[in-house]
Amino acid sequence: MSEKFSKWVACWGNATSITDRKEATYAKDLTLRYPIRACFSGNKLRFHFSNLTGTEAVTISKAYVAHSMPRPSDSSAHPSVQPAALATGAAQSSQNSAACEQSPQHPADASSCVTYSPIPITFGGRTSAAIPAGEEILSDEIAFDVVAGETFDVSLYFADFTQMNAGTAITGPLSGGKYSYGNFAKSATLPDDLTRNTNWIYFLNTIDIFTEEKNFALVCFGDSITAQDWPDYLTLRCAREGFNNVAIIRRAVSGTRILREYSCITYAAYGLKGATRFPIEMNVAGARSVIVQHGINDIIHPVGVEVNKFRPWSDMPTADDLINGVRSLYITHVRKLGLKVYSGTLLPIYGWRTYNENRDIIRVAFNEWLRSAPDFDGCVDFDKAVRGHDNPKAFAAGFDSGDHLHPSAKAYEAMAECVPEELLR
């Protein structure tokens, strides 16, 4: 079976940015666990860890990968993908467990046979690693058989004081993890009284799988719209419709802009500007194409120093500023990598707290360029998929999350549905 695996492809990925500056910025004696749905089969994994936005080195004390335990009664499981994950995970674990073959007590209960067998993630043969400030590291290649559709856990333990300044918040039906106080990285279950859910992904940046030649990655680059649900819904669509050779890799940070970034702690979590982010985040093994849906924050953020000293009117771009930024920062770099690039139109903002006609004129003009510019290989018209028929400046009924900027879950599904099949096969 391993003979058919021939190349590395990213099977999971997120951006790394500056975390929200809260009163506490350090953690100690902390376990992080992230469940990862495998989109491909393969026989090896490697892990990218990032401290890109950290100001001091952090040390991963221990790191493990393990096939997830079946959790049929876990309300936090993702029902749309969990059955396949349970079936394949249980089957594979039972093959590896001699005890499972002789379980007279519960012969019909597959979950009772599963053993949790964490495998150390190593770095130059060592089981711990320091990530220097502003840098990323790559683990050793880890032998680990993966079946498409199953779920595996990545668990990290930080023994000493650790600056939690490198990560990003994401949402969606396949996203999130848990953290526990204490060292539970090798434990099959995390203690309820010491564990909470989290949507912050710290340090873990990308996972590559050694898989078949036909498999590839599609990168989704953007801001909070992309950091939220539509990439997960696109992954579920691919599984449902049989697009089994593509991994959806999310590179998105809430609040980011194409042209500028903030230097104050109030808005630090809005992250790095496009010129800084893009070349780093396009380091994706097996990537074939990228969808760029970025620019709305450039338009909606400026309010004038009399309202907010960090948001001067001088930050307000013209449509040409955004166009030139996309051309020089994104398209030029993508072409150097030999990839295809697709534009993603900006969504309606009517009713958003800083909305005015001038901002919408800029958005509409930028969208028209995104739809028609020969610079792109195609356009994913997210705006058309979610806007109202009677009032195209606003979301369609049921598609507004309530803040008039971010879509509802139903609208995120519509965004996933409008991605052309040519990008998925």
What is the 3-state composition of the chain as percent helix, strand, coil, each rounded to the nearest 5?
A: 30, 30, 45
- What are the tens digits of pLDDT across the range 56-106? 999 999 999 999 987 644 434 443 444 333 333 333 333 333 334 333 333
- What are the tens digits of pLDDT across the range 148-200? 999 999 999 999 999 999 999 999 999 999 999 999 999 999 999 999 999 99
Q: Is the pTM of this model over 0.75?
A: yes
Dihedral angle sign, alpha carbons of residues 207, 176, 264, 321: positive
What is the rounded average pLDDT of the residues 258-284? Answer: 95
Helix axes 409-417, 230-241, angle to 10 degrees: 50
Q: Is 361:318 a contact under the CB 8 Å cutoff? A: no
The pLDDT of residue 44 is: 98
CA distance 65 to 84: 19
- List, in sequence order, the alpha helices (H) in 197-273: 224-227, 230-241
Mean pLDDT of the chain: 90
What is the rounded average pLDDT of the residues 314-329? Answer: 97
Strand 177-181 versus strand 30-37 pairing type: antiparallel
pLDDT band at 2 (very low <50, low <70, confident <90, very high): low
Q: Is 342:379 a contact under the CB 8 Å cutoff? A: yes
State the Rg of the chain over Cα.
Answer: 22
Give the count of alpha carbons within 13 A of 364, CB side only: 11
What is the rounded average pLDDT of the residues 301-322? Answer: 98
